[in-house]
Amino acid sequence: MEEKSIYEQFKATADEFPHNLCMRFEDKTWSYASVDKSIEKTAAKLLTLGIKEKEVVSVSLPNCPEALYLFYAISRIGAISYNIHPLTPPEMLKTLLTRSGSTILFCLSLNAAADRKALDKSIRVLSINPYQGVKPLKGFAVARMSKRCHGIKNFYHVRPQKELPAFKVDPKEDALYLNTGGTNGEPKIVRLSSNAINNLANRGYPLVGGKKENIKILTAIPLFHGFGLTMGVHTPLSFGGSTVLMLKFNTKEAIDHIKKANCTVLLGVPALYNALLSKDSFYGPWLQKQIAAFIGGDSVPQSLLDRWNNAMEENDSTARLFEGYGLTETMTVTNVNCYCSYKRGTIGKPLPGIKELIVDPKDGKILPRNVPGEIYVSSDTLMNGYLHDEKQEAFKTIDGVKYLATKDYGFIDDDGFLIFKQRLKRVEKINGETLCPSDVEQVALDDRRIYEAFCYGVKDERKGHVFRLVIVLRRGDHPANKDEVIKDIYADLEQKLTANYKPDKIIVSDKLPRTPIGKIDSNAIIKEYGE
């Protein structure tokens, strides 16, 4: 397959399917031809601003048309898109821009004043109102709420350069920066090429199945997250499908999109699917149009997969919910269950062209099937490396093949399916026994009254460590009694796991704190509930 830039891959699709539905936002829709025209206009505006090839362009926006236009327009002119959480605190944003070497920021107009005040004067700040030109009343309301501040330019009013020359972009070079916790848990910036992004899209689309014009992916996962950006946007837009952008996830709005916009494919973390299942209004004949749903990002209990699939069956839908696995460093997806290859209790086989090994984290020896160890991944979707990391110790070479040492713990079974346990750093020794807190989380999440769960180890004089469990109860239309839930969890743990797994405490929290990239913030939980 011919190597292309991110934009060139989209452009080829737009030329083939100019009249196909490409994007939906709120209740407005755009064809491929219309989106391509807006991308070209955005690219011309970037040139007006003096943005050069290989320059790092920071984009801190929620899911909206301008975020999509910028993603492709930045590729169009050969620059590098650095996607950042729109709720990143201004001081942290300053650190990220300094680390990336970026001197220009596109941000939400509501955040622009605070960002402008925190950043150096050398940083140019461009504000974007996501509803401007789309929803006049909402656009007016956002404009009224946005604070004024000197040194902010409204991107909507930037005049595009008249001529937009062609750019020769090397698909192997950096095209996208994304933030991650890194394989060792330290915040890092991942450098990704056009090839890595395009190769995932090329492999991802066939997994969905169905006719191109019927693929309408509900993209509630933010575009600063690799999964939302590649699987929610670039994958369908590489083949003639469409994306339905949600500014942020809202259960009622998501159900409306499924009903009215005929969304046929869903992407999400467990919280999204729990939220949908908790609402009576979710169920109905519209579910018959569903094609598939994919889940990842956090621990996924089998009970959630079963509840979703049962709901589809009860509403005469053939769609199923499939769990996948991947890291930002591997362009998010390396393994996934799907219609053509499925095994209960696993996270699927590797996608075509991806190699995996299980390696002993102590001595680096390759382990046989069914023996747990560190997961190694080799693929043409691997990152180019971490920014400003000369050693690049995350990469290992085995028999002449370059692998990413993921720092994830799991094993490959006799049939080639991957069973993921958890991050290596979360493994705890209790009474001399090596145990995974994810096992406790799985038991807790098997209770449909529980929305989220996080288990971690705390020091104990007698056992060395013990587990502590923090849970969030599902609200929805039928809230649960917390005392009954705690009692039932202890009973389930006693029945399903050995005594060393028993938590010293089970704490009910209103919500689990998240990092700027949307993952559970383990440090914040430990700080709040003790270590």
- The terminus-to-terminus CA distance of the chain in angstroms comes to 52
Query: What confidence score (pLDDT) does residue 403 get?
Result: 97
Query: Distance (Å, rounded) from C-alpha 188 to C-alpha 185?
Result: 9
Amino acid type, 156:
Y
> For the stretch 36-62, what's the b/e string if a residue is b when 16 or more beta carbons lie within 10 angstroms of its beta carbon?
bebbbebbbbbbeeebeeebbbbbbbb
**pLDDT values of the chain reduced to their tens digit, one per residue, 531 residues:** 689 999 999 999 999 999 999 999 998 999 999 999 999 999 999 999 999 999 999 999 999 999 999 999 999 999 999 999 898 889 889 999 999 999 999 999 999 999 999 999 999 999 999 999 899 999 999 999 999 899 999 999 999 998 899 899 999 999 999 988 654 445 789 999 999 999 999 998 888 877 888 899 999 888 988 889 999 999 999 999 999 999 988 999 999 999 988 899 999 888 789 889 999 999 999 999 999 999 976 667 788 899 999 999 999 999 999 998 999 999 989 999 999 899 999 999 999 999 999 999 889 999 999 999 999 999 999 999 999 998 889 999 999 999 999 989 899 999 999 998 877 667 777 876 767 788 899 899 888 899 889 999 888 877 878 999 999 998 878 888 999 999 999 999 998 888 889 999 999 999 998 765 556 888 889 888 887
Beta bridge partners of 311: none
CB atoms inside a 10 Å sphere around CB 132 = 22
* Cα pseudo-dihedral 294, 298, 300, 304, rounded to 10: -70
Query: Distance (Å, rounded) from C-alpha 402 to C-alpha 38?
Result: 39
Query: What confidence score (pLDDT) does residue 209 get?
Result: 78
Q: Please state the separation of Cα 502 from the chain's center in Å.
A: 32
Query: What confidence score (pLDDT) does residue 211 get?
Result: 82
H helical segments located in 109-229: 109-118, 136-145, 194-208, 226-227
Beta bridge partners of 454: 470
Contacts 24+ apart (CB under 8 A), 88-96: 88/60, 88/516, 90/114, 90/115, 90/117, 90/118, 90/119, 91/118, 92/516, 93/60, 93/118, 93/119, 94/118, 94/119, 94/120, 96/58, 96/179, 96/189
Query: Distance (Å, rounded) from C-alpha 195 to C-alpha 8?
Result: 11
- Residue 382 contacts by C-beta under 8 Å, 6 or more apart in sequence? 196, 329, 330, 331, 402, 404
514 DSSP assignment: B
* Cα pseudo-dihedral 108, 109, 115, 120, rounded to 10: 110
Instruction: Using alpha carbons only, give the angle 420, 421, 427 rounded to the nearest 5 degrees.
Output: 145
Beta bridge partners of 373: 410
Query: Distance (Å, rounded) from C-alpha 253 to C-alpha 251?
Result: 6
Measured in degrees and rounded to the nearest 5, phi and psi for residue 438 equal -65, -25
Query: What confidence score (pLDDT) does residue 264 get?
Result: 94
Angle between helices 109-118 and 90-100 (to 10 degrees): 70
Residue 10 parent element (H or E): helix 6-16
DSSP for 64-117, please give it.
SHHHHHHHHHHHHTT-EEEE--TT--HHHHHHHHHHHT--EEEEEHHHHHHHHH
Q: Report all structural domains of the chain as residue ranges with CATH numbers, in order of start.
A: 6-190 (3.40.50.12780), 427-529 (3.30.300.30)
Residue for token pair 């916790």: 181
Measured in degrees and rounded to the nearest 5, phi and psi for residue 486 equal -60, -45
Query: What confidence score (pLDDT) does residue 1 get?
Result: 63
Token couple for 399: 């028999």
What Rg do the C-alpha atoms of the chain give, in angstroms?
Answer: 23
pTM: 0.85
Query: What confidence score (pLDDT) does residue 500 get?
Result: 87
CB atoms inside a 10 Å sphere around CB 374 = 21
Query: Distance (Å, rounded) from C-alpha 11 to C-alpha 5?
Result: 10
